[in-house]
Amino acid sequence: MATAATRSMKSVLLLLSVQIMFGLLHAVISEEENLEMERQLTVINKPPIKSFKTDYGDILDCIDIYKQHAFDHPLLKNHKVQTRPKHVPKSTTEGESPRLLPDNIKCPPGSVLIKRTTKEDLIMAKKMKALGLNYPTNPAAADALFATVRYSKHNLGATTTMNTWGPSTSHDQASFANLWIANGPTDVLNVVQAGWGVVPQLYSNNYTRLMTYWTVDGYKSGCFNYMCPGFVQVHPEITLGIVLNQLSVYNGTQRDIQITLFKDGEWWLMFFNKVVGYWPKKLFFYMYAGANDVIWGGQVMSPSDEPSPAMGSGHFPRDGLQNKSAYFKDTQIWDGVNFTYPTPDQLVVCSTRPDCYEAKITPGVAPSHMDLFYGGPGRCNNI
Ligand X SMILES: *[C@@H]1O[C@H](CO)[C@@H](O)[C@H](O)[C@H]1NC(C)=O
Q: Which residues bind ligand X (CB under 6 A)?
A: 166, 168, 204, 206, 251-253, 322-323, 335, 337-338
* Minimum distance from residue 322 beta carbon to ligand X (Å): 4
* Minimum distance from residue 87 beta carbon to ligand X (Å): 13
* Minimum distance from residue 249 beta carbon to ligand X (Å): 8
Report CA-CA distances (Å) from 290 to 4, 30, 156, 210, 281. Answer: 63, 42, 5, 24, 9
Burial class (CB in 10 A: 0-12, 13-18, 19+), 233: buried
Is the Cβ of residue 20 or residue 43 nearer to ligand X in the bound state? 20
* Minimum distance from residue 50 beta carbon to ligand X (Å): 30
* Minimum distance from residue 91 beta carbon to ligand X (Å): 12
Helices 119-130/31-44 angle, 10° precision: 110
Is the Cβ of residue 168 or residue 246 nearer to ligand X in the bound state? 168
Distance (Å, rounded) from C-alpha 210 to C-alpha 259? Answer: 10
Contacts of 197 (CB under 8 A, 6+ apart): 174, 175, 176, 177, 178, 208, 209, 211
Residue 259, phi then psi, degrees to nearest 5: -120, 135
Is the Cβ of residue 65 or residue 145 nearer to ligand X in the bound state? 145
Is the Cβ of residue 49 or residue 202 nearer to ligand X in the bound state? 202
Is the Cβ of residue 134 or residue 313 nearer to ligand X in the bound state? 313
* Minimum distance from residue 330 beta carbon to ligand X (Å): 17
* Minimum distance from residue 35 beta carbon to ligand X (Å): 31
* Minimum distance from residue 16 beta carbon to ligand X (Å): 15
Is the Cβ of residue 189 or residue 311 nearer to ligand X in the bound state? 311
* Minimum distance from residue 141 beta carbon to ligand X (Å): 25
Distance (Å, rounded) from C-alpha 77 to C-alpha 75? Answer: 6
Is the Cβ of residue 249 or residue 348 nearer to ligand X in the bound state? 249
* Minimum distance from residue 199 beta carbon to ligand X (Å): 12
In 54-188, where do the E strands start and end?
A: 59-64, 111-115, 145-151, 157-163, 174-183
Distance (Å, rounded) from C-alpha 98 to C-alpha 92? Answer: 15
Is the Cβ of residue 168 or residue 292 nearer to ligand X in the bound state? 168
Is the Cβ of residue 221 or residue 251 nearer to ligand X in the bound state? 251
Burial class (CB in 10 A: 0-12, 13-18, 19+), 29: middle
Residue 291, phi then psi, degrees to nearest 5: -135, 170
The answer to whether 295 and 152 are in contact (CB under 8 A) is no
Is the Cβ of residue 138 or residue 205 nearer to ligand X in the bound state? 205
Contacts of 284 (CB under 8 A, 6+ apart): 190, 216, 267
